Structure 1
Amino acid sequence: MTRPSLAPLLTLGVIGVLLGSAPALALEGDASAPIEVEANQLDLDDRAGTAVYTGNVEIRQGSMQLTGDRVEIVRNDEGELSRATATGERAYIEQKPAPDEPLVRGWGRTVVYHVADRRIELIDRAELHKDGDTFDGGYLEYFLDRRVVQARSEAEGVQERQRVRMTLEPEQQDGQ
């Protein structure tokens, strides 16, 4: 008789502990929403506070989605999520900052979400879509709470310089 694998339960339990203790990601309901994880493999190091998912990784909680070929989740000493890093040819993150605002979507070969700072780094072939505006470059940094974008043509460890490009949509006047 074959025993059922505990890996799926362990995977969800670990992610629940890692992400569930994080502050509200954007919408109030995001932090209390169920966390759904799909991947081909999990490597967990509980003592180091890391979980590494590989193989077409998809993580979703409320309005937040993070995808990549590899996603590493790191906890701080208090057991709270401190950083999630997705890598791949087109790693991706999306999140809804507020109920009345559109999704913020970002891509890069590396996407780093710093939980405490509520800051997203998009590295190498970085692209950010926010409120109809688009930003491209070698490195983009977006601060969720302040709605601040910082862009550079160069990123550490990236050989190719990627000029910063922006397309800004004009604000609509009342009555138009």
Structure 2
Amino acid sequence: MNNKLWLSVLFFATSTLHAAPADFTQPIDVQADFWEASIQNNISIYRENVEVRQGTMLITALRLEANASAGSGNEVLIATGTPATYSQTLEDGKEVKAQANEIRYELASRTLTLTGNAEMSQSGSLVQGAVIRYNIASQQISAESEKNRRVTTIFTPEVKENP
């Protein structure tokens, strides 16, 4: 596969992932210390202490570019930081957490693309790679490695107590 390794399975095989359905119907609330916009280009830039919330989803970053040039419902949010972070509570109450140098959230496809030192974890299991793509709605994840590196996946088994 020449320096690329794809993982295309249900995220962390030990659990099912479903974002809380109400999350996608909630408005997106962006807060930051500084905001500027190009009204003509439909692009907003938020800087410093950026927080993006949609239901239980939270993205934090140093900078966020919100591009609405493709129209309502097709916005693209690009969060950058050292790292930028993502978290969301699933239907079963468990939390998914991720971090990367850049988190791209495409609202129309409900897809996150984590780039640069990317990692995603849930219930103690972890995926690390150069790029991780996660479709929140379809629960599909893929990870890509960098040159001379490999994708790392660590599965933590569920511990059952003896009666």
TM more than 0.5: yes
Q: Quick check: 1:49–1:79 contact (8 Å CA) kept in 2? A: no
Please give the alpha-carbon distance, in whole angstroms, between the structure 2 residues aligned to 1:162 and 1:90.
20
Please give the alpha-carbon distance, in whole angstroms, between the structure 1 residues aligned to 2:53 and 2:98.
15
**Deviation of 1:137 (Å):** 1.3
Match of 2:131 in 1: 139
Q: Quick check: 2:23–2:57 contact (8 Å CA) kept in 1? A: yes
Match of 1:124 in 2: 116
User: TM-score by structure 1 length?
Assistant: 0.70
Match of 2:80 in 1: 87
Please give the alpha-carbon distance, in whole angstroms, between the structure 1 residues aligned to 2:106 and 2:148.
24
Residue of 133, 145, 156 corresponding to 1:169: 156
**Deviation of 1:43 (Å):** 1.0
Residue of 27, 39, 43 corresponding to 1:46: 39
Larger CA Rg, structure 1 vs 2 = 1
- Root mean square deviation of aligned Cα: 2.7
Please give the alpha-carbon distance, in whole angstroms, between the structure 1 residues aligned to 2:22 and 2:130.
33
- Between the two proteins, the alignment pairs up a number of residues equal to 146
**Deviation of 1:169 (Å):** 2.3
Deviations 1:77-127 (A, max 9, x none): 433342111001110111224x22412111000011111111111111101
Residue of 78, 100, 106 corresponding to 1:114: 106
Aligned residues with identical type, % of pairs = 28
Q: Quick check: 2:43–2:69 contact (8 Å CA) kept in 1? A: no
**Deviation of 1:47 (Å):** 2.4
Distance change (3 Å), C-alpha of 1:170 and 1:63: same
Letter in 2 for 1:115: L
Compare the two structures and name the one with the higher helix fraction: 1
User: TM-score by structure 2 length?
Assistant: 0.75
Moved over 6 A (4+): 172-176
Compare the two structures and name the one with the higher strand fraction: 2
Letter in 2 for 1:166: T
Deviations 1:51-85 (A, max 9, x none): 11011211223201011110111114433342111
**Unpaired runs of at least 5, structure 1:** 1-25, 155-159
Letter in 2 for 1:28: P
Letter in 2 for 1:59: V
Most deviating of 144-153 and 75-84: 75-84
